[in-house]
Structure 1
Amino acid sequence: MSSIRERNKQQILRAASEEFADKGFAATKTSDIAAKAGLPKPNVYYYFKSKENLYREVLESIVEPLLAASAPFNEGSHPHLVLKDYIRSKIRISRELPYASKVFASEIMHGAPHLTAEQAGQLNAQAKHNIDCIQRWIDQGLMAKVDPHHLLFSIWAATQTYADFDWQISTVTGKAKLDDADYEAAAETIIRLVLKGCEVVEPGASEQVKSA
């Protein structure tokens, strides 16, 4: 029974992500979500109680991966490794959770009215931690003196565009859907631009930098 319950909840959550991403919160109807999920409308209310709760669940489904993507920053490793892992994690989120990513982007653009204080606090605290890490690497001579805030913003923009602006990407590339090679090329390109553009020192060269 629990497996059926979880499967139904996930079907509704996926359908809600698509509907909210396509129509926004106000224009989305629970009947459309139920239809897309292939379940009776009462099931939506049974599992989530209200459209508002379901919308918040969609936000939660993207907030957790976004926070988890910053795990490399929390390990205190070398910037060359941290930035590569972070960019790859962000590309993976855009690929695996494109609709939830669009919902999150829309939420932020509208002033985050449904984001809880706890979620906003977690995201802001993690961003500040990441910025502090970048600044520390700069102070240690491990990368160029770039603005840490704008570097982070640039990484967000470069990675999240593969979810939030998928129509434009599909139109330009002529592909209805990107494949493994496309996402790998995207990650490698962004990584190269960030590492080379920020003159990030490779692991093993750190001691040479310190003694220079």
Structure 2
Amino acid sequence: MQRSWRQDADKLTFIICRAITTGTADEIPSQEELQTESDSPANMVGDINLFLRIDDGEEGNSPPQIVGEVELMIAEKVNQRRGFGRAALLMFMRYIVQNQGAILDEFVGGGGVDVETVRKLRTGVETAESSQGLTFECLSVKIGQANLRSLALFEGLGFERVSAEPNFFGEFELRKTDLSLGGVDAALEGAKVRGFIALPYERTE
């Protein structure tokens, strides 16, 4: 299953771990500082997922758009309300926005999207006045109406409720359409996230 998480074109999963201890608070860890236990189960606090889907309207006759649905989970209460979820969501959004071209190219080329839909998506890009490749229409999240903390977290980062009332399942859908790199970086700065580095996955099987 772990291999599937890394290879499936329609989903993206990050495991949330406790921060790596470095010499100073402002120091960003390097590849050399990663240890086997850095992402061991003892240091894992949750996960954050992105599920990609095509939205072509309730009747199926609207131009296809790519929506990324986010799921965030901090497993144990002892790790909740400590900023893990907010930091993980911000960093996840930063990664998605920075790499959305590659993520979406893999999605539409992975065999899970029919040829006609891919053609329509590509045509929309080619005819746009300012073509930047495939982009997300929005990021979406569904949250139970009683989960006030999660609602506050996502709304605090610019997600807006699609409707004033929850759906049949008692959930609100929230969407974020401003996925500019500058907007995400401003949110990171506001949350006092000082920097990050993407390290390659080098765990041996």
TM-score, normalised by the number of residues in structure 1:
0.29
- More relative contact order, 1 or 2 (CA 8 Å, 6+ apart): 1
TM-score, normalised by the number of residues in structure 2:
0.30
Question: Which has the larger helix fraction?
Answer: 1
